[in-house]
Amino acid sequence: MKAIIIDDEPAVRKTISSFLSESFPEIIVSAQSGSVGEGYAAVTEHQPDLLFLDVELPDGLGFDLLKRLSPIRFRTIFITGHQEYALDAIKVSALDYILKPIDIDELAVAINRAREIISHDEEQLKLQALSENLTGKKVLKRIILRTSDALQLISVGDIIRAEADSNYTHFHLAGGKHIIVSRTIKEYEAMLSGSGIIRVHQSHLVNLNHIDKFFKRDGGYLQLKDGSSIPVSPNLKQKVLQAITDHLYE
């Protein structure tokens, strides 16, 4: 397996290169660079299987490089020192990333995932989601949901609600579609924060755009446009009402 490291910090490139040499000798570092321009030339020449890519480079963003290289024929592990919007976009697009300063254990986990057999079609789907989420206003547009047999690229606007089921989450989508994902609802609450999808109950997330009515009786519950009724936790009632009010005036 061939790898290329693109990061403007020599120490980071050395850390990754040395770790690969010591712990993953089957992965050969074909080239290293510190900019988008040099990185583009290196990837074009060496056609790697694995790319370690810094988010912010002196002459642009790592995302700019990926756009120039499309269609993607390699797996990407992002490197970033910024826990900001771009990182949220990377997370919901189901792409691997490691934070600076680099933790060797996290690096090993990311590399092992990259070594697993993943089709190029899946990688292209993930990068498509990332590209859409980084376009325009900083509002997530698409999310990757991994089921037992496939990756699905879903529009955030099509999510009506999500319901917890132990370590699984049931997504109910527009058109009556139902997807079960083996991740907790707490993870999706964090991922979808700021996207108009809010926690209304310990077991429920709801899309504000799909709320039809709020009923005060029986402790408080929501009626959604698909006809479903969702309970509202007493301790979240004021927060939910405020979110609905704020949404009306956006």
Band of pLDDT at residue 1, cut at 50, 70 and 90: confident
Alpha carbon distance 107, 113 (integer Å): 10
What's the CATH fold of domain 158-248? OB fold (Dihydrolipoamide Acetyltransferase, E2P) (2.40.50)
Mean pLDDT of 185-190: 88
State pTM to two decimals. Answer: 0.55
Angle between helices 10-23 and 104-115 (to 10 degrees): 60
For the chain, the structural domain boundaries read 2-133, 158-248
Per the structure block, which two tokens stand in for 60? 């642009």
What pLDDT, on the 0 to 100 scale, is given for residue 90?
A: 75
Mean pLDDT of 78-103: 76
Got the DSSP string for 188-246?
A: HHHHTTTTTEEEEETTEEEEGGGEEEEE-STT-EEEETTS-EEE--GGGHHHHHHHHHH
User: What is the three-class DSSP state of 153?
Assistant: strand
- Judged against a pLDDT cut of 60, whether residue 164 lies above it is answered with yes
Domains 2-133 and 158-248 share a fold: no
Alpha carbon distance 169, 183 (integer Å): 6
What's the CATH fold of domain 2-133? Rossmann fold (3.40.50)
- Within 10 angstroms of residue 242's Cβ, the number of other Cβ atoms is 10
Dihedral of alpha carbons 145, 147, 153, 157, sign: negative
